[in-house]
A and B are shown apart, each in its own frame.
Chain A
Amino acid sequence: MPRIIDTAGGPAEAMVLNMGPQHPSTHGVLRVAVEMDGETVIRARPDIGYLHTGIEKSCEAKTYSQAITLTDRMDYLSPLSNNLCYCLAVEKLLGLEVPKRAQYVRVLLTELTRVASHLVWLGTHAIDLGAMSVFLYCFREREEILKIFEMVAGQRMMTSYFRIGGLALEPPTGWLDRVAAFLESFPSRLVEYETLLTENRIWKMRTVGVGVVSPEDAVAWGMSGPVLRAAGVAYDVRKYFPYSSYEEFDFDVPTRTESDCYARYLLRLEEIRQSLRIVKQAIGKIPAEGPIRADAPGIVPPEREKMKTEMEALIYHFKIFTEGFSPPAGQVYQRIESPRGEMCTYVASDGSPKPFRVKFRTPTFVNLQALPLLCEGRLIADVVACIGTLDIVLGEIDR
């Protein structure tokens, strides 16, 4: 492994410890080279790239629709958010208007994704800090959300349910009842987690005052999502640049000012509550009937019924799946609020059926960069708390 810390000239007792690439607390394959004086961290240098699969390069060899499946595999804990970000970018490039019904379904499912993702975060973060049982509870509830995804998309994880112009399939009958049942049972479970952690003395000793970052630093280092909002900066893309009809929903953007690991924990729990509020409103808003795809022949695949009766629909179907569609030349930038922060897709088109360049701005790539800021000068055990609280997913960091 390359030496990324040069200890020459440092304290004579300093020692360099490699955390990872295989280490349970790094949530994947992250290596952190930590230079220590006793148990105090002098310098920490994250080393990434172990999961690099060249997703952006692969996108250039696929048609616009084919690239959706690749987006699932970046942030594998919130595939629907990735799908949404990419689809919105291509829709912006094409100038497509997505039907309201599809927009509301998208909002509902991405908010459930946020809940599921925060549950995984809470469970794994708690296990890092020694609270085993929370992990089991969180995964129990997450399972229920994954079952809803499976019901709607046919897949638990790699959903690819959002397509350019709308949704892949008509959602099945009765799925909203299932979501409603989840909304009914879940809030009491959330209280259970809080009784386990919020006033827990060990939990507070491990998180209060740990990993503090000032609001100025957080902005300068491009941090976003719960980490930024826990520092007191109320930047939430859903409020700043609403997409997919978020402006029609009533929700708050929680912020805190302590900016430590504990504040981020409280903030994420509050975000789960706000997401449930949005899901509840979405259930009321989604019409029972109506189109789920934009009316855009040549871009959105035609309905099966039409293909059997209309010559033109059959031709479009053939053309979409053999050569794809050609958006106008230009470049667009689409931001969304993923569970981890500001996620963006940059799509540049040269007018051909394949993207000229796709770039994903993944929130934890940027957040992880500031890890030294959070943990230098503190104890080695705090590094684990800091990595956990950044909620990193190596799949989206390395892409």
Chain B
Amino acid sequence: MAEAVETQVHPVAARLAAWDSGVVSGAETFRGELTITVPREQLHRVADFLRHDPELQFTFLSDLTATDHFPLEPRFAVVYHMLSLPHRRTLQLRTWTSGTDPVVASVTSVWPTANWHEREVFDLFGIRFEGHPDLTRILLPLDWEGHPLRKDYPTGGPR
């Protein structure tokens, strides 16, 4: 099971807490991997800090995806996997958004590579990214109805 970590113990969590003590709403490690949860409103600020802080330098965004926890609320977790090449560190950043109005701030201004990842999450989960330059479907046809990776979407398709 995942273990909660004291924010002082892990260097990345400690650095974040030292920068802004209220920003980390949860930190845990599972199989040696650190996951930090932040409030949705703080996401862009935190991403910008992680990317530019000289002690962290998470310059490489590997991945951006989401998980659907239907019927729980808040329903969606948006997950960011990043990498600090100079420090050889990895980090999973997570934030939650509601099922009724799923919207998260776009991080394309921090990592340009987030562009297609965010379009994919929008396409398959229906989560909107505020501030994205071109939030359109990417894998499915533009006139597709529904978002297939949601848990209430049948595996065999709607028909």
Contact = CB atoms under 8 A, between A and B. Distances in A.
Contact of B31 (A54, A57, A330, A357): A330
A127 interface: no
A369 B1 CA distance: 37
Interface in B139-159: 139-142, 148-149, 153, 155
Interface string A356-369: 11010100011001
Nearest to A93: B31
B112 to A, nearest CB: 5
Given A222-B60, A398-B139, A331 B111 contact: no
A398 B124 CA distance: 12
A104 to B, nearest CB: 23
B155 A221 contact: no
A57 to B, nearest CB: 5
A219 B84 CA distance: 11
A92 interface: yes
Given A219-B85, A344-B62, A344-B63, 4 more contacts: A49-B140, A331-B79, A333-B90, A366-B117
B116 A365 contact: yes
B97 interface: no
A4 to B, nearest CB: 8
B1 A328 contact: yes
B61 interface: yes
A366 B116 contact: yes
Given A240-B88, A333-B92, A369 B113 contact: yes
Interface in B6-64: 30-31, 33, 35, 59-63
A233 interface: yes
User: Binding site of A, secondary structure by majority: helix, strand, loop or mixed?
Assistant: mixed
Given A58-B155, A221-B113, A52 B31 contact: no
Interface residues of B, number: 37
A48 B139 contact: yes
A186 B89 CA distance: 38
A57 B155 contact: yes
A177 to B, nearest CB: 38
Interface in B79-136: 79, 81, 85, 88, 90, 92, 111-113, 115-117, 124
A330 B34 CA distance: 12
A375 to B, nearest CB: 17
B63 A361 contact: yes
Contact of A49 (B1, B33, B63, B139): B139
Contact of A61 (B90, B124, B155): B155
B139 A329 contact: no
A101 interface: no
B104 to A, nearest CB: 16
B112 A221 contact: yes
B2 interface: yes
A64 to B, nearest CB: 16
13 contacts: A2-B142, A48-B139, A49-B139, A240-B88, A332-B33, A342-B62, A344-B62, A346-B81, A356-B67, A366-B116, A369-B113, A369-B115, A398-B139
A333 B33 CA distance: 8
Interface of B: 1-2, 30-31, 33, 35, 59-63, 65, 67-68, 79, 81, 85, 88, 90, 92, 111-113, 115-117, 124, 137-142, 148-149, 153, 155
Contacts of A48: 138-139
B35 A331 contact: yes
B81 A222 contact: no
A342 B61 CA distance: 11
B155 A359 contact: no
Nearest to A220: B112
B30 A330 contact: yes
Contacts of A61: 155
B31 A233 contact: no
A60 interface: yes
B5 to A, nearest CB: 14
Interface in A199-230: 219-222
A361 B1 contact: no
B64 to A, nearest CB: 9
Contacts of B124: 56
A348 interface: yes
